[in-house]
Each structure stands twice: as structure tokens, then as C-alpha cells.
Amino acid sequence: MKDKMKWIITYVLLGAMVAGVTVTSVVSIRTMDKTETIAEKTNELDTKVENAVNQINTEFGGEDVLAEDNVLIGGEYLIESTTHISDAYKSGDTSALSDRDKETLDMAKAVIDDVIKDGMTPYEKELAIYEWMTKNLVFDEGSLVVIPTSDSDCDNPYGVLKNHNAVCVGYATTFRLFMQMMDIECMVVHDTGLSHSWDLVKLDDEWYHTDIYSDVGLGGYANFNMSDSLAQQNHDWNTSFFPAATGIKYNVGYQNRTTIKDVYDIPKFVHDIIESGESKSVFVELEGGFDNGKLIIAESMMSLISESMYYANEYEDTEFSYSWVQDGEENKYLSISVQNYQEVYDEIFDIDEEELQKIQDAVDEYFSIEYDDYFGDNEDSNFGFMDIKDGYKREPGFGKIAD
């Protein structure tokens, strides 16, 4: 698995590669022979983009593995089974566990004793663990970085529960441990590029995807108990190996679904969610149902909304996605997911302006980098914490380019 910063790096690399390809292709089209068609140049561009993506996958990912455990994510984080710990918990016999595993069991048991109450259903138990993990496994005592006790601690339940610091493999294996301790069937899933992992959990004989790592610090339950169609918005996995997730009953957005009277009320509904500044996952049903005609109208509006948000600077801290979901009675729902990252940025950069400026000046004195040779004469070719504080979603070291 890559942590969230590594994904930012991946997108930057891809953006740089695609940008370079685009500029080259435009120049080529302007100077090409009259017999060369635009279609040929487009095919050439598609090939170069595909090669750029493959280069990134080679750097950060790997070849898919048809297994749940003993899978290496991101080239360094191993998905390992913890059934020996959950079995010891259920049997009450810990004699075969190592001291480390016993400590892991004690920490996990303490959480279960704290958040699980008598009479809870399997879903209520899952929800309680999800909420505990998303609220408690963010940063340790407000620190941006927690130093694990070993290189592998962040990808296993021992390190996650001890340090409250994890990569996606750590979240996934810890969640699975909790579920198995409570006799709730659960699997760790990985993507086909071996760069991310999350969970599949079984409730009332139906599977659901839950990606705690992607929801930590955000709230909104956007990646909690998703069906395959919901998860496929931003996840990719081997659907022939892992079981199909068809349930929506225990999806929070479905449980809190909203009914609107007119299909043309959708833009205002979406706008109000975004303007609230909260991270939310919500299902929308139309009074009378989405027939084919109204489905086409709603899809057209959602497509335009997505395009508008993509180009609007005011929404640069907001991740927006949508999909169409159908329940067992063939009712159609519009699923909307909004994740606002500004609160996360504010927590990370919880430093006053004066201190931020001192940090900026100290770095700029020795590491000021000019980018004019590459991006032209910009008014300000340096950037760092202050720029991020002001809304630039970049990290120190990448350089500020023209907005």
C-alpha cells in the first residue's frame, strides 16, 4: 500500500508525463504532413498516456496475486493472517501465542470491551469498530508523523493498536482481526496493481466493501459498507477472485436516503451538500422513481456537475463522485459521495501564520528553487507550507507553478 501522500506523488508524476506528452503532440500536429490524420496522432497520444500509466504502475505497484494473505502491497507492506490471534480470543487459550501476539490480543480486546455492548447486532458491532478506528487511528497526540517501533509496525494490528499509526494494510488487517474476533466473516481485499487494500465484510449473507483508510479523518461513511457498484467508483480489484458485494441494506447513505419530488431539484440538492462543508455519503430517490427518461436527465445533470466541479478552483479541496445503485426490488437510487479535505489540511497545518512564515523563510534561505526555465516567468516560483495553508494542494518540494 501507498499512504495518501504517495498517491499525491503518483498523480503528480502522471500529470507531468501527460502534460509533456500533450505539449509534444500539439506541436507535432501543427507541423505534421498533410497526409497524416488527427486520428493517427490521437492514437499515438493514447499510447504514450498508456505507457505513462504503466510506468507508474511498475514503479508503485506490481502484478496481481490471487490470494488474500501473504500479498505484498506497494512493494513493502505484507498482508498477513491473524486468525491464530482471533482463534485464541474465542477459545480463551493463548498458550500458543507469542508475547507480541498476546499484547496484540490484549489491545484488541480492550477496544472490543470498550465499544461493543450486549445485544448489538453484527452490523452494530461492525459500525462501532469502524467509528472507533476512524476517530482514533489518525495521528498520535496531534503529531503529523508517528515513528513505529519497527519498519513493519504500520501494516499489522500490533503496530496499529500500539502506535495508532497505519498504512492501508494496517487498517485492513486490524479491522479484519476485530471482525474475526466477533465471528463476523471478513476478508482483506487488494487492488489489481498491488497498491491498496481494504476489507470485505459479510452481513446477513451479503458482502460489503469497507475501506477505513480512505475515511480516516473525514467522516461521512463514504467508503463504509459499499456494494461493488459503489466501490468501483474509486477501487479496482479482481472480481473473479473476491466474492461479489451486492448488499446495500447496511450502507449508511442508503439508510439515510432522501426523496426529492422533481428531477430538476438535483443540482440544488448536490450544491447544498457541497456547501455544507461536510463529508457525506447519501442516496437520492425520486418520488415516483427514476424511469428511463428521468434517468437520462439526472445522469446528464450529474455529468455536468462533475465537470463544473473539476474546473472550479473553489472545489479543489472537495472530492465528488456519484453512481447509480439498484436494490433487490429494482428501485434505482442516485448515490452521491462528497469528501471535504479542508479539515484534514487544517489539522495537519495547525500552526499559526507567524510560525508558518518562519518555517517558510528558513527553508527558502537554503532550498529556494527557480522554475522559470521550465514554466516561464512566474511571479512566485517558490512555495511551501504557507502556500498549502492558503489553499494550494501541493507538498514542499514540488514547486509552485502558474495557477
What pLDDT does residue 356 have? 75
Same domain, 142 and 281: no
Let me know if residue 167 belongs to a domain.
yes
What average pLDDT score do residues 276-302 get? 89
Q: Which residues are CB-neighbours of 313 under 8 A, at least 6 positions away?
A: 403
- pLDDT confidence band for 46 (50 / 70 / 90): low
Q: Are 194 and 65 in contact (CB under 8 A)?
A: yes
Domain harbouring 216, CATH code: 3.10.620
Q: Are 214 and 222 in contact (CB under 8 A)?
A: yes
Same domain, 26 and 77: no
Chain CA centroid to CA 165, Å: 16
Same domain, 360 and 374: yes
Handedness of CA 175, 178, 181, 184 (dihedral sign): negative
- pLDDT confidence band for 276 (50 / 70 / 90): confident
The residue with greater pLDDT, 23 or 355, is 355
User: Where in the sequence is the domain holding 89, given as residue range(s)?
Assistant: 71-229
Let me know if residue 237 belongs to a domain.
no
Let me know if residue 238 belongs to a domain.
no
Give dist(CA 174, CA 105) in Å, integer. Answer: 11
Indicate if the pLDDT at residue 326 is higher than 90.
Answer: no
219, with CB counted inside 10 A (0-12, 13-18, 19+), is middle
Query: In a 3-state reduction of DSSP, which class is residue 324?
Result: strand
Same domain, 281 and 166: no
Let me know if residue 102 belongs to a domain.
yes
Let me know if residue 149 belongs to a domain.
yes
Phi-psi region of 335 (alpha: psi -120 to 50; beta: other; left: phi over 0): beta
Let me know if residue 384 belongs to a domain.
yes
Same domain, 149 and 272: no
What pLDDT does residue 99 have? 97
Indicate if the pLDDT at residue 7 is higher than 80.
Answer: no
Least confident of 100-104, 141-145, 384-388: 141-145
What average pLDDT score do residues 217-242 get? 89
Same domain, 153 and 224: yes
Same domain, 10 and 97: no
Same domain, 222 and 143: yes
Let me know if residue 26 belongs to a domain.
yes
Let me know if residue 323 belongs to a domain.
yes
pLDDT single digits (tens) 158-203: 999 998 888 999 999 999 999 999 999 999 999 999 999 999 999 9
Same domain, 337 and 372: no
Same domain, 76 and 52: no
Cα angle: 57, vertex 62, 67; to 5 degrees: 140
Which of residues 60, 89, 107 is at a domain's end?
Answer: 60
What average pLDDT score do residues 243-272 get? 92
Residue with cell 452490523: 123
Which of residues 190, 211, 229 is at a domain's end?
Answer: 229
What pLDDT does residue 5 have? 43
What pLDDT does residue 65 have? 82
- Count Cα atoms within 13 angstroms, Cβ side, for 26: 5
Same domain, 105 and 20: no
Domain harbouring 263, CATH code: 3.30.110
246, with CB counted inside 10 A (0-12, 13-18, 19+), is middle
pLDDT single digits (tens) 101-129: 999 999 999 999 999 999 999 999 999 99
Same domain, 83 and 222: yes
Number of domains observed in the structure of the chain = 4
Indicate if the pLDDT at residue 281 is higher than 60.
Answer: yes
